[in-house]
């Protein structure tokens, strides 16, 4: 068996292990929205910047065109231990809340690999990445009737497997494409009062129906430009919206009868080798959360107690109930994330990294009520990491990420206070430790 076939077999086995790990792990990793700031320990330590920085096997996860510039066949496997404390407070006679979510430690795997074809301008690779969010509150604050489940929460996990191909057009330009094979699973529990109050278009498919799965596929396109003797790299990636199968068990919860697609995104980036030892990396990413109705549609109108459903006239409210064609959602806005990292080669076998990441939360203050179930409030992240050689063919990377606590307060449709005054708050902070093993072939 030749080295390429052996490497491909090892990559396939590692991919299966990562997919299995994602299936049994419970994500709650809303960072830039519901997406991780970065994939793999090295890019995460740079504030998540990576679309113009060809450093390891995670290249296909950022920009498939990067694979032509990695310079070696690699396999990189990361395990991130993620802790995101979440809390809610709601002053209301209808749905009072003052509680913190359980389940505060999550293992999150990521995998990337690159294989080059010697003597040709081609490179191929694979990445497996994940996203999601989750809550599990011991107090069911949506249980006014007293008849609902004693806990309330949601679980969403998205996975993408990205087989990729890249082609070097000339000494300065490379292009790449990935096939996005996507899967997601969802569960909701404790929302029975939404049915008893008539908020849902389909009470039988609203809550407590276990895990449901949906699948879909899409693509990603990338470009990489290298200039000034490869000291400057520029990158561009476009990922269109992925239409996913509807959650048939939750057609009464998500808008358009269970629809929950993966949104469109654009990313531009640069990497500058300022000196032989010092590098600066930066990305700007735009995610179109608002274009997915189940995420972007507004929730109950907070500023007008006489009009609960923002899109509907009081005489015809059925289309605006949860699950309907104009169904209530989380009210997320489109988000721009800014990622900046620096890298310093301290010694031949030791590289240090640090980074910053900022993305204004996609949650407007008037959308606090439904976002108690998905409090993606964090905005400011700091990162630090290092890579050390284990031997001539392998390395180890460690990364620390911290997202500072951020609280969003706003009014809800069930406020005892004058219209417009804040009566509810959602809070989150995050800390994670990443451990990665890289192997050269």
Q: pLDDT value at position 26? A: 47
β-sheet bridge partners, residue 402 = 382, 431
In angstroms and rounded to an integer, the radius of gyration of the C-alpha atoms of the chain is 23
Using CA atoms, how far residue 4 sits from 11, 69, 127, 247, 363, in Å, is 10, 18, 17, 40, 47
Q: pLDDT value at position 25? A: 47
Residue whose tokens read 């395990």: 79
Q: How far apart, in whole angstroms, are the C-alpha atoms of residue 131 and residue 118?
A: 34
Q: pLDDT value at position 134? A: 86
* Contacts with 325 (C-beta within 8 Å, 6 or more apart), sequence order: 255, 256, 257, 319
Domain ranges of the chain: 3-440
Asked whether the CA dihedral 416, 419, 423, 425 is positive or negative, the reply is positive
The model's pTM:
0.92
* Contacts with 404 (C-beta within 8 Å, 6 or more apart), sequence order: 378, 379, 380, 381, 382, 429
Number of neighbours of residue 252 by Cβ within 10 angstroms = 25
Q: pLDDT value at position 1? A: 47
Tens place of pLDDT per residue across the chain (441 aa)? 455 555 556 555 555 555 554 444 444 455 899 999 999 999 999 999 999 999 999 999 999 999 999 988 899 999 999 999 999 999 998 899 999 988 778 888 899 999 987 778 999 999 999 888 889 999 999 998 888 899 999 999 999 999 999 999 999 999 999 999 999 999 999 999 999 999 999 999 999 999 999 999 999 999 999 999 999 999 999 999 999 999 999 999 999 999 999 999 999 999 999 999 999 999 999 999 999 999 999 999 988 766 789 999 888 899 999 999 999 999 999 999 999 999 999 999 999 999 999 999 999 999 999 999 999 999 999 999 999 999 989 999 999 999 999 999 999 999 898 888 999 999 999 999 999 999 998
Q: How far apart, in whole angstroms, are the C-alpha atoms of residue 274 and residue 405?
A: 33
Q: How far apart, in whole angstroms, are the C-alpha atoms of residue 325 and residue 421?
A: 30
Nearest 5°: phi and psi at 151?
Answer: -120, 165
Could you give the residue ranges of the DSSP H alpha helices within 279-374? 293-296
What fold characterizes domain 3-440? Porin (2.40.160)
Q: Is the CB of residue 420 less than 8 Å from the CB of residue 303? A: yes
Q: How far apart, in whole angstroms, are the C-alpha atoms of residue 112 and residue 209?
A: 34
Phi-psi region of 104 (alpha: psi -120 to 50; beta: other; left: phi over 0): alpha
Q: pLDDT value at position 147? A: 87
Identify the CA nearest to 425 among candidates 406, 410, 405: 410
């Amino acid at each position: 068996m030749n080295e390429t076939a052996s490497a491909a077999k090892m990559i396939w086995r590692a991919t299966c292990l990562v997919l299995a790990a994602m299936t049994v792990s419970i994500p709650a990793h809303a960072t830039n929205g519901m997406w991780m700031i970065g994939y793999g320990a090295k890019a995460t330590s740079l504030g998540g910047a990576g679309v113009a920085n060809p450093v390891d096997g995670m290249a296909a996860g950022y920009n498939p065109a990067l694979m032509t510039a990695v310079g070696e066949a690699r396999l990189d496997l990361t395990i991130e231990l993620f802790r995101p404390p979440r809390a809610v407070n709601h002053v209301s006679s209808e749905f009072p809340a003052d509680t913190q979510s359980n389940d505060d430690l999550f293992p999150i795997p990521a995998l990337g690999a690159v294989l080059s074809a010697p003597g040709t301008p081609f490179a191929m690779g694979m990445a497996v990445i994940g996203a999601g969010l989750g809550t599990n509150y011991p107090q069911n604050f949506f249980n006014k009737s007293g008849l609902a489940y004693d806990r309330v929460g949601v679980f969403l996990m998205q996975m993408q497997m990205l087989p990729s191909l890249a082609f070097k057009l000339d000494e300065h330009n490379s292009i790449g494409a990935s096939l996005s094979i996507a899967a997601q699973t969802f569960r909701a529990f404790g929302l029975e009062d939404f049915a008893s109050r008539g908020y849902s278009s389909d009470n039988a498919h609203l809550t407590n129906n276990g895990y449901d799965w949906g699948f879909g596929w899409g693509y990603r396109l990338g470009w990489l430009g290298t200039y000034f003797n490869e000291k400057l790299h520029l990158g561009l990636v476009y990922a269109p919206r992925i239409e996913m199968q509807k959650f048939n068990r939750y057609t009464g919860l998500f808008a358009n009868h269970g629809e929950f697609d993966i949104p469109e995104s654009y990313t531009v980036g640069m990497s500058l080798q300022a000196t032989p030892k010092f590098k600066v990396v930066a990305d700007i990413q735009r995610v179109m959360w608002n274009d997915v109705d189940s995420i972007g549609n507004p929730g109950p109108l907070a500023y007008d107690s006489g009009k609960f459903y923002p899109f509907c006239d009081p005489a015809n409210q059925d289309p605006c109930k949860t699950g309907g064609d104009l169904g209530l959602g989380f009210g997320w806005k489109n988000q721009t994330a800014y990622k900046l990292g620096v890298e310093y080669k301290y010694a031949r076998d030791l590289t240090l990294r640090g980074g910053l990441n900022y993305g204004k939360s996609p949650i407007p203050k008037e959308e606090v009520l439904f976002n108690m179930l998905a409090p993606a409030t964090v905005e400011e992240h700091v990162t630090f990491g290092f890579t050390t050689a284990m031997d001539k063919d392998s390395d180890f990377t460690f990364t620390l990420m911290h997202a500072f606590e951020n609280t969003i307060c706003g009014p809800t449709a069930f406020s005892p206070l004058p219209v417009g005054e804040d009566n509810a708050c959602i809070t989150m902070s995050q800390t994670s430790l990443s451990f990665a093993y890289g192997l050269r072939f």
